[in-house]
Amino acid sequence: MSTAVLLIAHGSRRSEANADLVQLAELVRAQNLYPIVETAYLEIAEPGISAAGAACVDRGATTVKLLPYFLSAGAHVVDDLESHRRELSAQFPGVTFELCPPLGLHPLMVEIVLARLTEGAAGSVDVV
């Protein structure tokens, strides 16, 4: 059995914003916890979710964890990503596709917010 991680962001017309997800995937990959780590975008950028999900399966995944790189469980996560999960499950019936919660109010989010507030008060912030 092989578990894949599919990191999903909204997608942007700004390549710098999309590059954040690619960098995150590299950092997750470097932890060597999952043999397959792919990226996908809900809209605007490529690869799309269907193509990236298929790539996970092509690489041997029997379980794919869909992780929304979103802050809250809005319509994109609750409706759109769940719809993509169902479509992938139907397309690949032998593979389990799990939709993980968005980043949301994870306990570490407070630390992140406080760090960003400190960075903002200290001077320039590299916003992408």
Which CATH class for the 3-122 domain?
alpha beta
pLDDT tens-digit readout, 30-80: 999 999 999 999 999 999 999 999 999 999 999 999 999 988 877 777 788
The structure tokens listed for 29 are 């990959």
Taking the domains of the chain in order of start, what are their residue ranges? 3-122
pLDDT tens-digit readout, 35-46: 999 999 999 999
Rounded CA separation 27/24 (Å): 5
Rounded CA separation 119/111 (Å): 12
Q: Give the pTM.
A: 0.87
Catalytic residue IDs: 10
pLDDT tens-digit readout, 95-127: 999 999 998 888 899 998 889 899 876 655 455
